[in-house]
Amino acid sequence: MMQILSIFVLWSALIWTNPYHHLLFWNIELGQGHLVVSKTVYSLAFNIICYLILAVSVFYLFVYLRRVRPELRKPGIWLVLCGCIPAATEVAKSAYSGFTPWLLPISVYCGFLGMTMLWIVIRYRMFSVVPLARNVVVETMEEGILIVNHRGSVIDSNAYVESLFADSGQGSIAGQPIDKLLANWPEWLRVCKHMETSDIEIDAQVNGESRVYSVKVYPLASRGGPAQGTVSVLFDITDKQRQMEQIVQLNQLKDHLFAIVSHDIRNPLAVQASLIEVLEADKTMFNRNHQEVIDALSGQIQNTFAMIENLLEWFRSQKEGMLLQPERLRLSDVVEEVCRTLRIKGEAKQIAIPIEIDGDIAVYADREAVNLIVRNLLTNAIKFSERGGKVAVSAETKAGQVIVSVSDNGVGMEEDRVRELFDPLRLVSTTGTAGERGTGLGLQVCQQFVRMSGGQIWVESVPRQKTVFYFSLRAADSERDNDESIAY
C-alpha cells in the first residue's frame, strides 16, 4: 500500500516542479478565457492508467452491489453513478478540449452531486440502520465475539468478551495484540495466528469466579481468497460442565446401588424362591391352612423376585458396552425351559400353557435375552388371565425372521393403553387378576432386548377377550459364524 501511495506522491511532486523540467506539460496558456494545457506523453499515459484503475474499481463495486440486499442495491448503484460523474467529466475534458468551457463550474456540479448522494444516504439510512442493528445484536447476544485481523490485532469485540479480560486490567481490547491478550490460552492463540477452524475449551477467571468456555474459531475469507483474520465465538458451558460432573456422580451412585441390589437383595430372594418351590412341591404334606399360607407366601416371593429381576435386567440394558452373545438356538428348548420355571405360577391359577412351536425352528440370538423376553411375556399373560384360562406360545418363520407370539384369553386392553404400553415415560404397574403386582418395567426390558437382538415387538388386544404379544428374532443360518458377538 505504501508503494502505491508513493507513486502518487511522486506524481504530485512532478506536477509542482513541472515549470523546471516540463516532463508533464509542454505549455500552459490562456485561450478563449480558460486555461489550455498541452500534456506530454507521460502525462497522458499516467492519466490513462488512473482511469483504468478507476474503471476496475467501479466494476468491482457493481459486482459487490449485485450481492447485497435488494433494499440497498438500488441506492448503492445511484451512489456509485453519482460518484463516477466527476471522473467522467475529467475524462471528457482530457479527450476533447472543446468541452472545457462547459466544465468550468465543476465545483458546482460536484456540489450538486454531493447533495444528491447525501440525500440518498439519509433517505435510505444506509449507514445508520445497519451499524445500529449490529451494535444492538452483538452487544446483547449471550455469546462472546472476538475478531482478529491477519496481523494478530483485535479489531472488534463485544462487551461479553471484554468482561473476560476485565480482571487483567487491559481496559479496551481494540487494537491489542493477541500475543499478550491470549497468552494464558496458547491453543486459542495458535489457532488465531494460523487462521484455522477449531473448537477448543478454555478456563478463565471472570469476576473472581472460575468459568469454562467453548471457543469456536472461524477464519474470515472471501470466496476463493486468502484468510484475512479470524472470528472467535465464545459460549459459557460452566453450568453444562457442572451438570456433567453431577451426572458422573449419579452414575457412580447408580452403579453402587446396582451392586447392592444384585448382591444383597437378589441373592437372598433367589434362595427364598428356591425354598418356597420346594415347599410348594410338598405342600400336600401340610394341612389346608398351611397350604394357603404357602401359596400366599409363594406369590409374594415370586412377584418380588420377578420385580427385582426385571429391574436388574432393565438396568443392564441401559448400561453402555453391554455385550450380547448370539448363537444358534432351538426356540422350543428355550420356551420349554421358561415354562418349567413358571409351572408353579401357572398351576396356582389353573392356567394351561401349551407350546405350539415346531422343533426345527431355530433363531440366532442371545440365550439369556430370549429367555428374559419369553419369561416376561409369559408372566404377564398369566398375570392377566382368569383362573382356568389359557396361555399359548407359538412361532412361525417369515422372510428370514422368526415371529414368536404369546397369547392369552385374559382381560385384554383398551386402545389407549396399548398405545402407551412401550412408552418409557409412562411406566404404569397394573394389578393382575389375582392381585399380582409389578414395576411396569417388564415390557420395557422386553422391548430393549428385542431391539438389541435386531427384532421388533408389538401387541394386539381386544378388551375382555384376548391379548397377543408378537416379537421377531433373526432366523438361524446354518452357515453363519456363531462366534459373532454384538456390543451395545
Could you report the per-residue pLDDT of 253-297, keeping only the tens digit for each?
Answer: 777 766 666 666 677 777 887 888 778 777 778 888 887 788 778
Parent domain of 179? 131-239
- Which residues, including other chains, have CB under 8 Å from residue 346's CB and lie 6 or more apart? 339, 352, 353, 382, 391
The answer to whether residues 114 and 175 belong to one domain is no
CB 231 within 8 A of CB 145: yes
One domain, residues 155 and 121? no
Q: Is residue 371 part of a domain?
A: yes
| Mean pLDDT calculated for residue range 124-148 | 73
Instruction: Mark whether 116 and 142 lie in a shared domain.
Output: no
Taking every pair of Cα atoms in the chain, the longest distance, rounded to a whole number of angstroms, is 144
Are 154 and 17 part of one and the same domain? no
Pairing of strands 457-462, 401-408: unpaired
Is 79 inside any structural domain? yes
Instruction: Give the containing element (helix H, strand E) for 466.
Output: strand 466-474
Alpha helices in 350-469 (DSSP H): 367-383, 415-420, 442-452
Same domain, 118 and 182: no
Q: Are residues 347 and 219 in the same domain?
A: no
Q: Which residue has 425372521 as its cell numbers?
A: 401
Calculate the CA 79 to chain-centre distance: 44
Q: Are residues 141 and 154 in the same domain?
A: yes
What pLDDT does 140 receive?
74
* Contact of 225 with 234, CB cutoff 8 Å: no
In a domain, 80, yes or no: yes
Cell of 41: 506523453
Average of pLDDT values for 92-121? 67
Q: Do residues 92 and 159 share a domain? A: no
Q: Does one domain contain both 1 and 97?
A: yes
The answer to whether the CB of 217 falls within 8 A of the CB of 232 is yes
Same-domain status, 118 and 8: yes
Q: Using pLDDT thresholds of 50, 70 and 90, give the confidence band for residue 193.
A: very high
The count of structural domains within the chain is 3
Give the total residue count for the chain.
Answer: 488
Identify the top-confidence range among 130-139, 158-167, 189-198: 189-198
Distance CA 477, CA 326 (A): 12
- For residues 330 and 450, state if they share a domain: yes
pLDDT for residue 364? 94
The pLDDT of 41-67, averaged and rounded, is: 80
Residues 331 and 427 in one domain: yes
Residue 232: inside a domain:
yes
What is the DSSP-derived secondary structure letter of residue 476?
P
Boundary of a domain, candidates 102, 127, 152? 127
pLDDT beyond 90 at 374 = yes
162, with CB counted inside 10 A (0-12, 13-18, 19+), is middle
Amino acid sitting at position 15:
I
Of 209, 239, 269, the position where a domain reaches its end is 239
Domain-terminating residue out of 127, 152, 184: 127
**In-domain check, residue 336:** yes
pLDDT for the residue numbered 67: 72
Q: Which residue has the higher pLDDT, 433 or 318?
A: 433
User: So what's the pLDDT on residue 57?
Assistant: 84
DSSP 12-42: HHHHHTHHHH-SSEEEEEEETTEEEEEE-HH
